[in-house]
Amino acid sequence: MNSDLEVRHCRTLVAVSDKGGIAAAARALGLAQSTVSETLSSLERVLGTPVIVRRRGREAALTATAEALLPHARALIAASEAALAAVSEKPPAVLRLGTVESISSFLLPRPLRSFREHWPGVDIRITVGLCEDLRQRVRRFDLDAALTIEGAGHIGADGERSRALSPAQLQLVVSPRNPFAGRALSRDSLASSTFLLADSHGAFNGLLRSWFEEAAARSPRIESAGSIDGVKRGVQNSDAIGVLPAYATAGEVSAGTLVALTLQEPLPAIALLLTTPDPPLDSPPLTNLIVQIGEALEAM
């Protein structure tokens, strides 16, 4: 070997392994692909042997040597972070992220695990709240960013910058015992039903009412269940209809404990919305976390 093994080598190798290729590793690390490729070439010079196998039209794969190095690379990264923390007088970097319950419970766990592997020195503080309150806190700089579920046409207010990260699907769910289960339904046939929302004052309330108004149907009866679990319990124990994002009900619908209604008219479009201050903060950790969340959504 003609040089020492460096922490940057280890971070890059671990990222390529975890993300499945050079392009995804570059996004996770917040680096250019050329930088990742150069770091891998440097590691190969250190080891005196290839660490990746490049395949035409496919992502790179780790060699047996690289696989054997992985646990030592992870240990070196952890030791480096611990050493820096032990001698640093500066408090850990803090990323303040606001989000709604459905995103916190069903979308964030996977990207947060990946983020913490690559940014172990960043303290992520999650605040769960209501959409409008979270956006107001962003405008007051109490939060660095907020992730909310809104109508697809949502426009941000002054002092904030909002953009859709990913489309999402609104879903009406019922108990398998509900008379509506398994039928193709119109808005008119649902107008006399009771609808359960986790937050009866949130965006879904307005979207649902507008949906019925388009058909000149009477205004629906909407009740608050207080939480996503409250909606699911209420639906399973009554003839009420739950209104939730599809990702929050996927497990129950797959298991058959909830049934997604088949509708003749499509429900309003919704989206996962990222809100940051205007102008946004220059925060590589935040940029990386958003990338991780986007990749998790693509994998769903």
pLDDT in tens, 200-217: 777 888 899 889 988 766
**CATH 3.40.190.290 residue window(s) in the chain:** 170-266
Q: How far apart are CA 251 and CA 105, in angstroms?
A: 13
Q: What is the pLDDT of residue 190?
A: 92
Tokens standing for 212?
């019925």
Tokens standing for 3?
């040089």
**CATH 3.40.190.10 residue window(s) in the chain:** 93-167+281-299
Class of domain 7-87: mainly alpha
Burial of 111 (0-12, 13-18, 19+ CB in 10 A): buried
Amino acid at 233: R
CATH number of 170-266: 3.40.190.290
108-138 per-position pLDDT tens digit: 888 888 888 778 878 889 999 888 899 999 9
Q: Indicate the CATH number of 93-167+281-299 among 3.40.50.720, 3.40.190.10, 3.40.50.1360, 3.90.550.10.
A: 3.40.190.10
Parallel, antiparallel or unpaired: strands 93-99 and 58-62? unpaired
140-164 per-position pLDDT tens digit: 889 999 999 888 877 777 778 888 8
